[in-house]
């Protein structure tokens, strides 16, 4: 099929490559000149394992091209995917849907009457209905607009796109259902569940899924708060409850909490939208989910102060800057938030990360970004593991760092370290929510 993918950030770039891998002819539209230039040159403008190779392969096959605007060729497309961002509005919890409005207005002159527009961006419920009105006015006919939420995770984005747990489409006409079924046929042929709903349900599915995931993480972090004062162990607790299939063991890792471009903004946008709809109370609990999450960041500073007294003027090393491993995304990163809380106490904060230190230098100049791990650790009074990259979990690391640090204290903010390895290298290890202190 001939398709366009509009907006080539994380979601759009991955979706465009995935569609081209499935054999569709893809035109990617991206307004940002730097991002566009990178993609045209076969370079993914963010870190995502495996995506560069896949991009180069679909370019070589001639299945994909990238441009700044629509051209007459967009009129040949049967299906247009909307993948532009819906960031949090400044000074508000609500999502900014302006980029979607701009995208459909720009598409309208090139839209065939039998073509289908499928929104993939995460949106407040009711957005598709508004976009339909905008498009109908701009195009002069009633468009086929559908919603098709995306569930990919950073770090495993391509795999999640090509082998998703499920595909969800929200439609209110047969043409949309038919084309979306057809575009995903190479995936559903392998048995992937394909769920067809009305449009508001499809819009809600995405925010509901992300709210549930955020709630699971905050639930286990709430248990960690209790475990810490009760002398219990939240990691064993998670394992024990996780064997119950109704609960499941995923997304029950306690630590400094969730961040990134999705979970935090999505729960806030959901609260704002529910309030607008007059049912704010239904998701009041998400405010607690948010506060538990933020409290765990502050807990690291409390532990440092408990152990070191004042941390003013002391050198503290934060391991990891990205919001999770295998990503260079610093958006609402718990690691950066923790580093800045430590900085606010007057400490000298050194940050190490395998791939995202250039972003740290550009966005957080008050943090010391050091690429050499030994140099970063030299003279440190404490180390905080904030992002569980695999290179911080190697068993040799404690012995390598032990001779250079000024004080052998490590706080495991992700419950990712082998406690015995650090203890045998002479470190005092404090893990959030656990009773492993020695």
Binding site for ligand UGA (CB under 6 A): 122, 150-154, 210, 213, 217, 251-253, 255, 257-260, 262-263, 323-324, 334
C-beta closer to ligand UGA: residue 165 or 174: 165
Cα dihedral across residues 189, 195, 200, 204: positive or negative: negative
Contacts of 55 (CB under 8 A, 6+ apart): 13, 17, 39, 42, 43, 44, 64
The set of catalytic residues is: 262
Contacts of 15 (CB under 8 A, 6+ apart): 5, 81, 83, 120, 150, 161
Strand ranges (DSSP E) for 276-344?
315-319
Q: What minimum distance in Å lies between the beta carbon of 16 and ligand UGA?
A: 15
Q: What minimum distance in Å lies between the beta carbon of 169 and ligand UGA?
A: 16
- Are 18 and 58 a contacting pair, CB within 8 Å? no
Cα dihedral across residues 54, 60, 63, 67: positive or negative: positive
C-beta closer to ligand UGA: residue 16 or 108: 16
C-beta closer to ligand UGA: residue 74 or 86: 86
C-beta closer to ligand UGA: residue 128 or 416: 416
Q: What minimum distance in Å lies between the beta carbon of 387 and ligand UGA?
A: 7
What strands, in cross-sheet order, belong to the sheet with 167-170?
64-67, 25-29, 2-6, 79-82, 116-119, 144-147, 167-170, 194-197
C-beta closer to ligand UGA: residue 111 or 322: 322
Q: What minimum distance in Å lies between the beta carbon of 146 and ligand UGA?
A: 18
Q: How far apart are CA 325 and CA 387, in angstroms?
A: 6
C-beta closer to ligand UGA: residue 110 or 184: 184
Nearest CA among 169, 167, 170 for reference residue 200? 170
Q: Is 243 exposed, middle or buried (0-12, 13-18, 19+ CB in 10 A)?
A: exposed
Q: What minimum distance in Å lies between the beta carbon of 174 and ligand UGA?
A: 28
Q: What minimum distance in Å lies between the beta carbon of 133 and ligand UGA?
A: 26
How does DSSP assign 195-259, residue by residue?
A: EEE-HHHHHHHHHHHHHHHHHHHHHHHHHHHHHHHHT--HHHHHHHHHTSTTT-STT---SS---
Q: Is 92 exposed, middle or buried (0-12, 13-18, 19+ CB in 10 A)?
A: exposed
φ, ψ of residue 284 in degrees (nearest 5): -55, -35
C-beta closer to ligand UGA: residue 77 or 338: 338
User: Residue 303 has which token pair?
Assistant: 């532990």
């Amino acid at each position: 099929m001939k398709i366009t993918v509009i907006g080539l950030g994380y979601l759009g770039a991955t979706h465009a490559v995935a569609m081209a891998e499935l054999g569709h002819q893809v035109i990617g539209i991206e307004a940002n000149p730097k991002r566009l230039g990178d993609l045209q040159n076969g370079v993914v403008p963010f870190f995502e394992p495996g995506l560069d190779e896949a991009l180069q392969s679909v370019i070589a096959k001639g299945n994909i091209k990238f441009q700044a605007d629509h051209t007459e060729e967009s009129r040949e497309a049967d299906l247009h995917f909307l993948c532009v961002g819906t960031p949090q509005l400044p000074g508000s919890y609500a999502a900014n849907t302006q980029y979607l409005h701009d995208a459909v207005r720009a598409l309208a002159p090139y839209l065939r009457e039998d073509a289908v527009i499928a929104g993939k961006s995460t949106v407040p419920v009711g957005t598709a209905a508004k976009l339909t009105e905008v498009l109908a006015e701009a195009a002069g006919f009633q468009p086929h607009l559908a919603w098709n939420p995306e569930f990919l995770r950073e770090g495993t984005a391509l795999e999640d796109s090509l082998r998703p747990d499920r595909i969800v489409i929200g439609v209110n006409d047969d043409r949309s259902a038919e084309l979306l079924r057809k575009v995903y046929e190479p995936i559903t042929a392998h048995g992937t569940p394909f769920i067809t709903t009305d449009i508001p349900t499809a819009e809600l599915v995405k925010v509901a899924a992300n709210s549930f995931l955020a709630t699971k993480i905050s639930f286990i972090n709430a248990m960690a708060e209790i475990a810490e004062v009760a002398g219990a162990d939240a990691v064993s607790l998670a394992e024990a409850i996780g064997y119950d299939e109704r609960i499941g063991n995923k997304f029950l890792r306690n630590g400094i909490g969730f961040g990134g471009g999705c979970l935090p903004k999505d729960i806030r946008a959901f609260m704002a939208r529910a309030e607008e709809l007059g049912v704010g109370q239904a998701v009041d609990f998400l405010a607690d989910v948010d506060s538990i999450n933020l409290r765990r960041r502050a807990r690291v500073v409390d532990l440092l102060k408990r152990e070191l007294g004042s941390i003013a003027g002391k050198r503290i090393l934060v391991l990891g800057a990205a919001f999770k491993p295998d990503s260079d995304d610093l958006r609402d990163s718990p690691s950066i938030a923790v580093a800045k809380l430590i900085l606010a106490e007057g400490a000298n904060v050194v940050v190490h990360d395998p791939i995202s230190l250039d972003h740290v230098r550009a966005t957080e100049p008050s943090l010391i970004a050091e690429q050499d791990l030994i140099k970063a650790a030299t003279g440190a009074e404490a180390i905080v593991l904030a992002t569980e990259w695999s290179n911080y979990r190697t068993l040799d690391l404690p012995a390598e760092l032990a001779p250079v640090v000024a004080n052998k204290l490590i706080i495991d903010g992700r419950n990712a370290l082998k406690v015995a390895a650090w203890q045998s290298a002479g470190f005092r290890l404090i893990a959030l929510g656990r009773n492993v202190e020695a």
